[in-house]
Amino acid sequence: MSRLLIAGRQRLEGEVSVQGAKNSALPIIAATLLTKGENVIFNCPRLSDVEASCAILRYLGGKAQRSDGALLINCDGVNQSEIPDSLMRRTRSSIVFLGAVLARTGRARLSFPGGCEIGPRPIDMHLKALRELGAEIEEKHGVLECRAPYGLRGAKIALSFPSVGATEDVMIAAALAGGTTTISNAAREPEIRDLADYLNKCGAEIYGAGEGVIVIEGVSSLHSAAHTIIPDRIVAATLMSCAAVTGSEIVLRDAVASHLGAVIPVLEEGGCRVNLTDRDIRLKAPKRLRSMRIVRTMPYPGFPTDAQAPLMAAACAADGTTVFIENIFENRYRHIPELARMGAAVRTEGKVAVVEGVPRLYGAAVEATDLRGAAALVTAALCAEGSTSIGGVRYLERGYEDFDLVLSSLGADIKKV
């Protein structure tokens, strides 16, 4: 199993392009199931989660392969409606295939999804919404048996929480449903709009994506399309956290500043200077980061839960106290015991974490237990005194493409062994 070895206290400098968004790529890959012909997906990151989604497509009878920097997908040969447990467990986002397979074949059989253990992420909203679209769903021994004997039909769906996954599942399923579907309290993340942009290129009629109410006018069929995945705002936030904690100056190419509207002010509060140009972000950090008072994770456009862990790592070496309030996932602080091994001073009670900045962190042997926790340990290691050995690299590779090479290109002393 791989480990990352990082020698800390190296200043970062230079320019780097931000990879395509994992959280856009995964639902778009699932949505290709509804199309005829060959899709060309540009800027699709090379991640284990992306490969897991492609493996599901291939199992169902589709084709997915890389060529000249693009992911080519053709689902004309899809002839299966069942996804085995071994594939469903590889990624949490596999649940978005439920609506896609059901819309494509009229039936679906799959188990509950896997993914990082960061707290309960129930799929009740997915099932309730699909039932409102006309699906008949039975749950037996961890397996979902789904049928749409009379086809899917439009409905008014009110989500109890602006769930990203449930919003995506309904959008995909409703694209070919009869009539009009309205999603109230829909998720507003940029990745939702990206999915809608792709589907609309394929002939769908989706309106209001990125707002609280989304309207989908069902169509009879969808064709293939070429589409470029948006930049990954969480990778951008992680790189900014890495620069902030090391007193560095970096430029992020192909980053969308508006997608980071809740992150940039927090870093500015910590003393960073952030200059924005067209698709570029330049961050210059102070020699030592200041505390950032209170950081609350919220659904978009609030501060993203996925950026909480790397920013907390930066706060561990800041001057002063920062309070984090995690409002999305109840078990999102699993990285804190590992940060403590490096000398961090963090106290938690429920969803609140109080971070007392320390003069310096120290290198140690630590283990990542989830994707964003892994990013936090990398962030901390970059500013730590001495060397840090990080295990659980497989978690990092679920969401960060060649992160060791990206950081090396900026001057970090990091290698994978």
Q: Is 233 annotated among the ligand-binding residues? A: no
Quote the CA–CA distance of 2 and 7 in Å, as a whole number: 17
Quote the CA–CA distance of 267 and 416 in Å, as a whole number: 29
Residue 162, C-beta contacts closer than 8 angstroms, at least 6 positions apart: 185, 186, 187, 188, 212, 299
- CB of 248 within 8 A of CB of 413? no
> Which residues of 112-166 form beta strands (DSSP E)?
136-140, 143-147, 156-158
Q: Is 214 annotated among the ligand-binding residues? A: no
Q: Which of 279, 190, 194 is nearest to 229 (CA)?
A: 194
Q: In a 3-state reduction of DSSP, which class is residue 94?
A: helix
Beta bridge partners of 252: 16, 281
Q: Is 232 annotated among the ligand-binding residues? A: no
Q: Is 328 annotated among the ligand-binding residues? A: yes
Quote the CA–CA distance of 354 and 315 in Å, as a whole number: 10
CB atoms < 10 A from the CB of 232, how many? Answer: 31
- CB of 376 within 8 A of CB of 309? yes
116 in active site: yes
DSSP letter at 254?
A: T
User: Token pair for residue 24?
Assistant: 């856009």
Find the catalytic residue in 54, 116, 146, 272: 116
Phi and psi of 23, rounded to 5°? Answer: -75, -5
- CB of 197 within 8 A of CB of 222? no
Helix (H) or strand (E) holding 135: none
Q: Is 22 annotated among the ligand-binding residues? A: yes
Feature table: binding site: 22-23, 92, 306, 328
The residues carrying an active-site annotation are 116
Feature table: binding site for phosphoenolpyruvate: 22-23
Feature table: binding site for UDP-N-acetyl-alpha-D-glucosamine: 92, 306, 328
